[in-house]
Copies of this chain bind each other. A is one copy, B any other.
Amino acid sequence: MKGIHQLAEHLNISIGTVSRALNGKPDVNEETRRRVLAAAEELGYVANQSGRSLRQGETKVIGLMIESSKETVENADNFFLGVTSGLQSVFARHKLDLLMLPCPSDEDPHEYLKRMVARRIVDAMIISDTQRVDRRIDFLSRAKIPFVALGRSLSASNFPWIDLDFEGVADHAVERLISLGHRRIAITAPSSEANLGYLFIDSYRRALERHDIPFDPTLVIRVKSSEQGGYQAAHELLLLEERPTAVILIYELMAIGLYRRLMESSVMPGRDLAVIGFRDAPRARFLQPSLSCFRISLYDLGVALGRMLLATMPAYRDFYPGGERNIIWPLELMPGESDAFDVGAMV
């Protein structure tokens, strides 16, 4: 089966009628529509997207840009695949397809994005890995391409984004540990200049201050956001002259490396050191003793991202009224065994 012409010829009607029947336009005889649908199914006809796109000025494709840097490849915990399902559930209602656009590591992300957008491969974009200053945001805003970002940025004043509640995580974790009697609480932070690191530390500091616990900079352990970083964090922690009784992690995979290093020194999480992890990642779910960490539904996050994006697009706006343009995504603490001990009983 080639194109709509062949299908129309096969049915002995005009291509216009075929198109209207296929696209569910109202002014088509029901019997005609039935015949068209049946023939299309039988012959496996599906409209060529280039033809449609050219005529309609839209591609019905949403792009999810991902950066396949070495760091991401080695450490990402398929975060994106998790979000994908939620996105697709929203897009499916509008017959929109989600494609992932992997930016080659040797191409500038900004140039890549420009190219994809200019070629009109997609109608809208979801970007992630936002930087404190991110030219992509300015570009998309100015080019009036609908987009939503996973992550805050200092670029542009008003654009749609969803970000994880790093402040809330730090706050909850500190409060919980203090309520369990801890006073000497370490925290990890990314060694990079990522915005979230600042948010995390600030919130930690404020929570301590609420309880009149002085902020001790030696308890802020800067390491890479990776499994290796967790190992390194445990190592540095064990070297501190006055060892903290608890530690809060900022990245999901850190817990795995941290546990390993602690075990090597026979320091047992949940007995000798309280540990609160970050996200409830599949890999971390398997740790023993079980990790106290924060639950997040990647599916729901995907749904929210999808809705927020469509709310910015004229063609779909009406389906998603009154939504927020910015969301701090809450995470829920899941108590495990890794911090389930009374610090008073220690020492």
Instruction: Give the interface of A toward B (CB within 8 A).
Output: 44-51, 53-54, 59, 61, 66, 68, 72-76, 78, 81-82, 84-85, 88-89, 92, 97-102, 104-105, 114-116, 118-121, 227-228, 231, 256-257, 260, 263-264, 282-283, 286, 288
Given contacts A50-B53, A81-B73, contact A92 B104 (CB under 8 A): yes
B residues in contact with A115, CB < 8 Å: 46
Cα-based distance from A261 to B224 in the complex (angstroms): 27
Q: B residues within 8 A CB of A76?
A: 78, 81
Chain B residues, CB < 8 A from A228: 286
B100 touching A85 by the CB < 8 A rule? no
Q: How far is the CB of A90 from chain B (nearest CB, A)?
A: 11
CB pair A286–B78 under 8 Å, yes or no, is no
The residues of B that contact A84 with a CB separation of less than 8 Å are 68, 102
20 contacts between A and B (CB under 8 A): A49-B50, A49-B121, A50-B50, A50-B120, A66-B81, A72-B81, A73-B85, A74-B282, A75-B282, A76-B78, A84-B102, A88-B104, A97-B116, A99-B99, A99-B121, A100-B100, A227-B286, A256-B283, A260-B288, A264-B288
CB proximity of A152 to chain B, nearest CB, Å: 24
